[in-house]
Amino acid sequence: MRGPHNIIRLIRTGATLERTGAMKVVLEAFEAPAYLRLIFRTIVWPFQWLGFKGDPKMSPVPRALVVLGPAYIKFGQILSTRPDVVGDDMAEQLRVLQDKLPPFSMAEARAEVQRELGVNVDDAFSSFSEPVAAASLAQVHKAHLADTGDAVAVKILRPGIEKAFRKDIDAFYFAARTIEVLSPASRRLRPMDVITHFEGVVLGELDLRLESSAAAEFAANTKSDKGFQVPLVRWHLSGRRVMTLDWAEGTNAGDNMALDAAGHDRRVLAARVLQMFLNHALRDGYFHGDMHQGNLKVAPNGDLIAYDFGIMGRIDEYTRRVYAEILFGFIRKDYQRVAEVHFEAGYVPADRDVDEFARALRAVGEPIFGMDASRISMARLLSYLFEVTERFGMETRTELILLQRTMVVVEGVARSMDPHMNIWQVAQPIVEDYIKRRIGPAALLQDLGKTAMILARFGPQLPRLAEEALIRLNNPPPPPKPQRRIARLSWMALGGVLVGGGIWIGQLLTGL
């Protein structure tokens, strides 16, 4: 239900942030002005008794997000990859949300396996460990298959997670609708569409059959990628609420000390994370949509191992070309071409000035070049980019939300490994290779070949289609009968009278 009762849920959210001490920490992390901090805390303070207490053993912000529910935890996971936005200390605190949340009991886990797969845990597995990782929606157990002894990971959804998520998303819908009503300027950002997209993404995570399918497709696409691995799914032990796949042995990608101790070169790993993401997005149009440190390991041989495929992104060939041209334009500092691509793709209204947009984009892009990542404030950069898009009436592109969000997350992961990495230099070879293969002369020949195949497929029907078109051309439909036209005009006249009368009455009442 998305009604006004969600006001209580939103008030409780603010109250929980205040009661756990998270409100103060968040406002300080985002460097909110003193007057804004005072306003926020003055409004929320009287209601703090409505807030949840949470686990006092946890830091304030993770404590608040965990007790508020899975959707809030997802938001915290994204922020955990952005130390440049929230600061190193908070980013470190938020990493517990990736895979170190309180687990549910072994008895519940065994019962879920029995209920979903129809087999007893002791019959299917020779060993079944305590939870080795617990995230917002599910937890993972290490096990060994009874028949082969192979090590596997068994992922099990949290009991009742679907209902808990529905409560959060309903409150988000209510907040988005309220924002649209109270702030018409925000409608260009399409908050309702954004929440709908977010809902669809997470609902996909709540059916592990879809995740199993995604893992299999992703493994097939990336099987030839050097330095990258995807565990294989064990289909006979997977269902809607339980998924089993090969165990991935390695070091957590977010543990820099462990990576150094294992002898891995973090600069190489940082570049590989970003380049692999771009390769999958541009080459395949199918990419891992949740590539934070909790979903990445580094194998002993240095390979990146990706897992948790609940959120996957897909973009069509045309969007890939647009995205590549925009990136390529930034890399070459060709801001005029970047602006033109935005207009050609319809991202910016046609009545705006393309030269002005190019100049605004230059102000966004120039500070990036010639500087290492540690000197760039991504918070200020995103803030200015938001101002530019607002000024030029650029609407939120819901089809690009996941791509843009994942790009931010992946860059955050790479920067956590190598704070001095220049993202544009690392991205350049991947983008240039895609441009050569998909936008140059070779791409034109491929497009012509696809067009010829389509024409060949419909070739036998072309004579019939042409004949039907000629018949319609030579036998146009009869004009509408006069009485229908007169009736339509009468109704239009009546409508005009009613509207005009209403306006006159309104003016009269206003004058009184």
pTM of full prediction above 0.85? no
* pLDDT score of 16: 83
Torsion from C-alpha of 491, 494, 496, 501, nearest 10 degrees? -160
Task: State how far the Cα of 176 lies from the Cα of 165, in Å rounded to an integer.
Answer: 16
Whole-angstrom distance, CA of residue 275 vs CA of residue 418: 14
Q: What is the pLDDT along the chain (512 residues), one digit of tens a residue?
A: 555 556 777 777 778 888 888 877 777 766 666 776 677 677 777 777 777 888 888 888 888 888 887 778 877 776 676 665 566 677 778 877 766 778 899 999 999 999 999 999 999 999 999 999 888 788 999 999 999 999 999 999 998 888 878 877 877 787 777 767 766 665 655 677 767 767 777 777 888 999 999 999 999 999 999 999 999 999 999 999 999 999 999 999 989 999 999 999 999 999 999 999 999 999 999 999 888 888 899 999 999 999 889 888 888 888 888 888 887 887 788 889 888 988 888 888 888 899 998 898 888 777 766 565 566 555 455 556 666 766 777 765 656 667 777 887 888 888 889 988 877 788 889 888 888 887 766 666 666 666 776 667 766 777 777 777 778 777 777 765 554 444 444 444 434 433 344 433 333 333 33
- Dihedral (CA of 198, 409, 336, 185) sign: positive
> Could you tell me where the DSSP H helices lie in 332-461?
335-344, 354-365, 378-391, 401-417, 423-438, 441-458
Residue with tokens 């992703």: 218
| The amino acid at 423 | I
Asked if residues 68 and 61 have their Cβ atoms less than 8 Å apart, the reply is no
Q: Using the 8-state DSSP alphabet, how is residue 296 labeled?
A: E
Which regions of 32-163 does DSSP assign to beta strands (E)? 125-134, 138-145, 151-157
Q: Sign of the CA dihedral 43, 49, 54, 59?
A: positive
Listed in sequence order, the residues at least 6 apart from 470 whose beta carbon sits closer than 8 Å to its beta carbon are: none
Structural tokens at position 500: 């005009």
8 Å CB contact between 51 and 18: yes
The three-class DSSP label of residue 187 is: helix
pLDDT of amino acid 377:
53
Q: SS3 of 57, please?
A: coil
Q: How far apart are CA 344 and CA 348, in angstroms?
A: 8
Residue 31: what pLDDT? 63
What pLDDT does residue 486 have? 45
Helix (H, G, I), strand (E, B) or coil at 133: strand
Query: What are the residue boundaries of the structural domains of the chain, listed by start?
Result: 6-99, 252-461
pLDDT at 38: 75
- Give the residue numbers annotated as catalytic, written as ranges: 290
Residues in the chain: 512
Please give the radius of gyration of the chain, using alpha carbons only, rounded to the nearest integer.
Answer: 28
Strand partners, 263: none
Taking the C-alpha atoms of residue 12 and residue 52, their distance in angstroms, rounded to an integer, is 8
Q: What are phi and psi of 225, to 5 degrees?
A: -80, 115
User: Helices (DSSP H) in 80-149: which residue ranges?
Assistant: 83-86, 88-94, 96-99, 106-117, 121-124
DSSP string, 439-503: TSHHHHHHHHHHHHHHHHHHGGGHHHHHHHHHHHHHSPPPPPPHHHHHHHHHHHHHHHHHHHHHH
Question: What is the rounded distance in angstroms from the CA atom of residue 128 to the CA atom of residue 123?
Answer: 11
